[in-house]
Amino acid sequence: MGFVTTADGTEIFFKDWGSGQPVVFSHGWPLNSDAWDSQARFMAENGYRAIAHDRRGHGRSGQPWNGNDMDTYADDLAHLIETLDLRDAVLVGHSTGGGEVVRYLGRHGSARVSKAVLLGAVPPLMLKTEANPEGLPIEVFDGIRAGVLNDRSQFYQDLSASFYGPGVSQGTRDSFWLMSMACGLKAAVDCVKQFSETDFTADLAGIDVPVLVAHGDADQIVPIADSALKSAELIKDATLKVYPGAPHGLFGDFDAAFNADLLAFVRG
């Protein structure tokens, strides 16, 4: 584990397990790299170097007032990859982290990347617009901002239910709450605009590495019809994997199935 310091002085925490070809994980909002522990351990035990960072404003990373935007998230990821001199990396992003991976590829290219994985990811665009009528109305995201600002502790407890769906343990929901509370309030609010209003269409169309697009068809947070199904059509070399009945968050059988699919895709 360690930190890298970005150009604006923000410290980015990361964990670095195992050795071999690097697999780099970007987490969802409002969590941190601990959300990837199952995958990071699994990949490290199977001969890969698993690296996962806390996005700025989240977890153990610095909480600057500025820079809580998708371009800066992507630039922070680039700084981490370049500082560690990672090559032939597989980038894996969940939810907002999927947007971070896509924007990284759009801004920095694939010179250091061999493959990417988007799990329950927000691209191409979550917000309902004239050009994206299947998206969610702005009132949904205004409600998220209001929930975070008014009583974020209770909001995160409530959100964990729809994040994981029925059947999840109270312990897993408590873990979600704990990670969420470690996200700074400014970053938590700013990030809502980034995951909901950022249009990744051009980034997706420019990706030139193989991509696994994985999504649960019971996802209540990022509906599959306006995300994975569209992304798989926009990416030149995409493999779509749909998990029947699976929610947004990884746990139980869904977690185990995704681990197996991730390993197979990286090895393939």
Q: Residue 224: count other Cβ atoms within 10 Å of its Cβ.
A: 19
In the chain, the domains with their CATH numbers are 2-267 (3.40.50.1820)
Amino acid 230: pLDDT? 98
pLDDT over 90 (residue 156): yes
Amino acid in position 186: K
- Which member of 160, 219, 226, 231 is catalytic? 219
- Residue 248 catalytic? yes
| Average pLDDT for 47-52 | 98
- Residue 114 catalytic? no
Amino acid 189: pLDDT? 98
- Beta carbons of 113 and 209 less than 8 angstroms apart: yes
Query: pTM of the prediction?
Result: 0.98
Task: List the 22-26 sheet strands across, edge first.
Answer: 2-5, 11-17, 49-53, 22-26, 89-94, 113-119, 211-216, 238-243
Which residue, 123, 91, 114, 94, is CA-closest to 104? 91
In sequence order, what are the residues at sequence separation of 6 or more whose Cβ sits closer than 8 angstroms to the Cβ of residue 130? none
Average pLDDT for the chain = 98
Percent of the chain with pLDDT over 90: 100
- Which member of 53, 58, 94, 248 is catalytic? 248
- Residue 54 catalytic? no
Q: 105-153, pLDDT tens digit by residue? A: 999 999 999 999 999 999 999 999 999 999 999 999 999 999 999 999 9
| Average pLDDT for 45-53 | 98
- Which member of 26, 95, 160, 180 is catalytic? 95
How far is 184 from 196, CA to CA, in rounded Å? 19
Q: 22-46, pLDDT tens digit by residue? A: 999 999 999 999 999 999 999 999 9
Percent of the chain with pLDDT over 70: 100
